[in-house]
Amino acid sequence: MTDSGMFGARGTGDTSGYGGLVRTAASTGSSERPFGGYFDDVADDLERAYPAFSQAIERIVVDRGELTLHVKREKLVEVAFVLRDSLKFEMCMGVSGIHYPENIGCELVAVYPLLSMTNNRRIRLEVCVSDSDSHIPSLVEVWAGNNWHERETFDMFGIIFDGHPGLTRILMPDDWQGHPQRKDYALGGIPVEYKGATTPPPNDRRSYK
C-alpha cells in the first residue's frame, strides 16, 4: 500500500486507506438458464422485440438477485429504446460510473438501473469502455432525466457521453484537472487555514507504514 491516498490503492483492491482488505475482483461470465423469477421473461421478450439481440448483448448476468444486461456500446441506444417502448421500462434511475484500472481494455463501466412501473420490474444495463476510448452514446434522448446523471459521471469518472446536449462538469469547477472518483485519482485536498494554522490535504495526514 502506498501513501498516494485511498483511491490510489495498489494491488490489494483495498480502498479503505488502511491496507487490511485483500479482495480479488472476479470476472463474471454469462449466467445459465433458467435465470429465475421474471428474468427469463425479460430476456425472452427482449430477444423477440429486438432482432439484433445476439449482436448487441454480450452477456446476461444474474447475481445477488439482479439481472444485468451487458450491452455493446454501439447498440446501447437501440436496446434502450426497445426496453422503454416494448418492454415498458419507462424509467432509468440514472447512470453511475465504475473504474477498474486493472481491467485492461474495459477500465470504465457505466451502469444504468432501469425500472418498469407498468410491470414492477427492475434490471440493469452495463457498458464498458477503455480508458483510451471512453466514449458512450448519451441516453438523454431515451430518458431525459439522465441529463444531469451523465454530467456527473463525466465529471467524476471522465466517461464522455456522445450526443449529450451540454456535457460539462456539474460538481467540480470547469477548469478542474482529473476525475475525483477514479481509483487512480490521489486522495488529496486544498490546505485549509484555521486561525493561522494549516491543515494539510488528507493524504499527507497519516502514515500507511
pLDDT tens figures, 152-200: 999 999 999 999 999 999 999 899 889 999 988 876 665 555 566 666 6
Give the fold, CATH level 3, of 37-182. Answer: Beta Polymerase; domain 2 (3.30.460)
pLDDT of residue 158: 97
Peptide bond before 34: cis, by omega within 30 degrees of 0? yes
Alpha carbon distance 1, 207 (integer Å): 10
Domain borders along the chain are 37-182
CA distance to 45, 88, 203, per residue, from 85 (Å)? 12, 5, 48
pTM of the model: 0.80
Q: What is the largest CA-CA distance in the chain?
A: 69
Question: For each of the chain's 209 residues, which pLDDT tens digit applies?
Answer: 444 544 555 555 555 554 555 556 556 689 999 999 999 999 999 999 999 999 999 999 999 999 999 999 999 999 999 999 999 999 999 999 999 999 999 999 999 999 999 999 999 999 999 999 999 999 999 999 999 999 999 999 999 999 999 999 999 989 988 999 998 887 666 555 556 666 666 666 555 45
pLDDT of residue 5: 45
Q: Which three cell numbers stand for residue 89?
A: 421500462
Q: Which three cell numbers stand for residue 18?
A: 488502511
Q: Name the residue among 124, 97, 116 with its Cα closest to residue 185.
A: 97
Answer for the pair 151, 170: CB distance below 8 angstroms, yes or no: yes
Q: Name the residue among 154, 199, 152 with its Cα closest to residue 171.
A: 152
CA distance to 56, 136, 155, per residue, from 172 (Å)? 34, 21, 7
